[in-house]
Structure 1
């Protein structure tokens, strides 16, 4: 019987896991600097959590099943809905804003292709109850800060505001279902298909023309003046434009000027209500988007209070691809920094004692467990990438000393047993 992994999934070996853990720990550190706290939600939820948000048609994209109690469940396809459910269950009385971050795997029953898997990971955050421009600005700034900390180059942050588009359509008395469809077409970026659809609706030509003009607007904050001229008389769109202008000014206060105003961002999900942003790495081509987020009101969709939330998620797998594509130095250390090598069977017991002393001092240490000969030990230590090998010989032990070999320079030095831990600590810094 041939055993293979399920289609659309992956195995991660040692080196990849080191890289992923390093990126994960860096993101956690930055998010916590901004006072976000980590949460975990179940890998599976009630199916209704996702159909309430996205409609019954989403079932075809889910791993859903009945449990032994005939309850309809699904593996989570994303993490925003579970966070909203968590808030409603546990945190409605908490002081606002509530800052949360998460990291976990998600599942979608889609055709696997380059950059798209059936099991994938998201690292993201939600700020619930942050209803002013400074909340949106801080979230965008944090995403920018995290990518800078990872050393990623060549990324672009594109920011838009759905209130402009929704405002125009609402004033033209376009129903919400049609609005959602239009947003989906804008999100796909297919202007020709959008024009065909608009021409088959009852939307007046003036609104169509303004809409098509607005979604093509891209540049710095100065383009808002041109947009303002075009939407005069459209009060809802003008109000959204004013909010967007406040956000961009607040971003400047945060020292965040590395962004592109892109009014063609729609995010394609009907619960987004205001600011939206996406982060691209153009060199990745079709898989260039590594992050998406914005302001939304999902809690109300689930029957809760109307409360503004802002969040985003890194597609963790896309982010890893971007970092590796750029050959970014992630600062990954070897699995072990020191290897303790007994020269003979009589010094084997002492080697375990020395190894434990180093480990208790917080030094990553490997010790020979396979009774290898010295030549093979040194070859193995080289393959592990350790920096120091401690050779424990009978003669040295009689003198109360150990031989420390630097694996880069190949120099050796006799160190007293009492001093070896401090010596290793100092030599590794």
Structure 2
């Protein structure tokens, strides 16, 4: 019987695993550069945790079942609910701001398609306990730097920045209550994927005859790309009293956030785009998504403010902001840019061995180098020099350590740069102390 991988799941043969781990390494390196701490959480959680956060409709998207203890459980589709639970349980003892990150696998029972699989990895980065825009700026700057670390630049991706607070103000100016505003926001979130006639029909459920005119106003504001244009649009709305005060305060937040992002070197990557709404109802303020620069394809990352979620899941009041970046869409973009080649694991040194005595010397030196953290290989069976050099090239070895009869007799080893062919004889006892310099600067 022949078994096949389940739909939407992936195997990672060594070369693919090296490329995946390269993504993980750069994610982790970026998070640590911003002094975020790594955490983890169970891959299996109570089903109710996801229902409480996202509603009953989430169940159809989950790998969920009843375990042997009669508990309704699900494989995690995202990290945020688990994280909010962890933070809520320790909120009083955690030093704020809490800056945590995670790299983990997640599962959704959806139709597999380009950019979306049933099992995928995500880079989750969150800040808790800070309500000011400094936290939002920190997350967007980290997102930009993470993508830059793969060799991507402002011609390759943009971070589209929006604000649900401004949308609530705009919808309040239309006379909508909270329920009506939520329904209209859900329509706005799908506008890019919805026919215009259908959008007017859906908006009319809450806006009646004003639906067409409102859609035109939406189309105007979602085309604004500069802050001055956005500011003027908001101040031209029929806002009075508290609504006007809130709008002015929010525009001040925008001004501060954009200035911080400019100072962090992320300004050129950020694009104002109120077409980004983020459909999940728990978002409460600034929201953002990273896209390939042309805007085509799925989002590379997405996130925003979710100040009410920790309390909703049983914890105390705790402001929060975060984002998630998936490995599938990122890998697709890197492939299209030719930025994933050359990350297969390869040895730093490979021994080329003449005979039994030379093998023992090579194994002794390899043991020392391995204990120092270098990747070292040698052939497990006796072969001629020619075949050994051929295999060394096939494995992409950076340097060969040649142990022949003459080298062994003189207590030396011949080091060959496999790229240039340059060779140099060194005393065996100096190999360990010189290994770092050899790998950094070659034999010259």
Q: Does TM, normalized by the shorter one, top 0.5? A: yes
Aligned to 2:69: 69
2:85 matched to 1:85?
Answer: yes
Aligned pair in 2 of structure 1 residues 327, 66: CA closer, same or farther (>3 Å)? same
Q: Distance in 2 between matches of 1:177 and 1:15?
A: 51
Q: SS in structure 1 opposite 2:377?
A: strand
Aligned residues of 1:65 and 1:73 also touching (Cα < 8 A):
yes
The superposition leaves residues 266-286 of structure 1 with CA deviations (integer Å, 9 ceiling, x where unpaired) of 000100011011111045833
How far has the Cα of 1:238 moved from its partner? 4.7
How far has the Cα of 1:320 moved from its partner? 1.8
Q: Distance in 1 between matches of 2:224 and 2:434?
A: 58
Aligned to 1:200: 205
Q: Distance in 1 between matches of 2:295 and 2:234?
A: 34
Aligned to 1:292: 302
Q: SS in structure 1 opposite 2:176?
A: coil
Q: Which moved more, 1:310-319 or 1:359-368?
A: 359-368
Q: Distance in 1 between matches of 2:409 and 2:371?
A: 24
The superposition leaves residues 66-95 of structure 1 with CA deviations (integer Å, 9 ceiling, x where unpaired) of 111011110000111111011112334323
Aligned pair in 2 of structure 1 residues 191, 239: CA closer, same or farther (>3 Å)? farther
Aligned pair in 2 of structure 1 residues 404, 33: CA closer, same or farther (>3 Å)? closer
Root-mean-square deviation (CA, aligned residues, Å) is 2.4
Q: Distance in 1 between matches of 2:143 and 2:424?
A: 47
Aligned to 2:181: 179
Deviating above 6 A after TM superposition, structure 1's stretches of 4 or more consecutive aligned residues are none
2:171 matched to 1:169?
Answer: yes
Gaps of 5+ in 1: none
How far has the Cα of 1:205 moved from its partner? 3.2
Q: Distance in 1 between matches of 2:42 and 2:340?
A: 33
Q: 1:403 aligns with which of 411, 414, 419?
A: 414
Q: Distance in 2 between matches of 1:208 and 1:240?
A: 22
Q: Which moved more, 1:346-355 or 1:81-90?
A: 346-355
Mapping for residues 2-151 of structure 1, pairs under 5 Å: 2-151=2-151
Aligned pair in 2 of structure 1 residues 230, 160: CA closer, same or farther (>3 Å)? same
Q: Which moved more, 1:245-254 or 1:84-93?
A: 245-254
Q: Distance in 2 between matches of 1:284 and 1:231?
A: 29
Q: SS in structure 2 opposite 1:218?
A: coil
Q: Distance in 1 between matches of 2:15 and 2:351?
A: 23
How far has the Cα of 1:253 moved from its partner? 3.8
Q: 2:351 aligns with which of 340, 351, 358?
A: 340
How far has the Cα of 1:177 moved from its partner? 4.1
**TM-score, normalized by length of structure 1?**
0.92
Q: 2:381 aligns with which of 370, 373, 391?
A: 370
The superposition leaves residues 235-254 of structure 1 with CA deviations (integer Å, 9 ceiling, x where unpaired) of 15454334333322333343
Q: 2:273 aligns with which of 255, 262, 273?
A: 262
Q: SS in structure 2 opposite 1:269?
A: coil
How far has the Cα of 1:147 moved from its partner? 1.7
Aligned residues of 1:152 and 1:322 also touching (Cα < 8 A):
no
Aligned residues of 2:89 and 2:315 also touching (Cα < 8 A):
no
How many pairs were matched up? Answer: 428
Q: Which moved more, 1:20-29 or 1:122-131?
A: 20-29
Aligned pair in 2 of structure 1 residues 92, 227: CA closer, same or farther (>3 Å)? farther
Q: SS in structure 1 opposite 2:260?
A: helix
Aligned residues of 1:136 and 1:275 also touching (Cα < 8 A):
yes
**TM-score, normalized by length of structure 2?**
0.89
How far has the Cα of 1:381 moved from its partner? 0.6
How far has the Cα of 1:173 moved from its partner? 5.5
Aligned pair in 2 of structure 1 residues 191, 137: CA closer, same or farther (>3 Å)? farther
Aligned pair in 2 of structure 1 residues 330, 127: CA closer, same or farther (>3 Å)? farther
Q: Distance in 2 between matches of 1:187 and 1:113?
A: 21
Aligned to 1:225: 231
Aligned residues of 1:22 and 1:330 also touching (Cα < 8 A):
no
How far has the Cα of 1:419 moved from its partner? 2.0
Aligned pair in 2 of structure 1 residues 211, 40: CA closer, same or farther (>3 Å)? farther
How far has the Cα of 1:33 moved from its partner? 1.9
Aligned pair in 2 of structure 1 residues 327, 92: CA closer, same or farther (>3 Å)? farther
2:371 matched to 1:360?
Answer: yes
Gaps of 5+ in 2: none
Q: Distance in 2 between matches of 1:225 and 1:175?
A: 23
Q: Distance in 2 between matches of 1:80 and 1:346?
A: 58
Aligned residues of 1:389 and 1:404 also touching (Cα < 8 A):
yes
The superposition leaves residues 309-351 of structure 1 with CA deviations (integer Å, 9 ceiling, x where unpaired) of 1101112221122122111268747420111122113322222
Aligned to 1:245: 255
How far has the Cα of 1:263 moved from its partner? 1.2
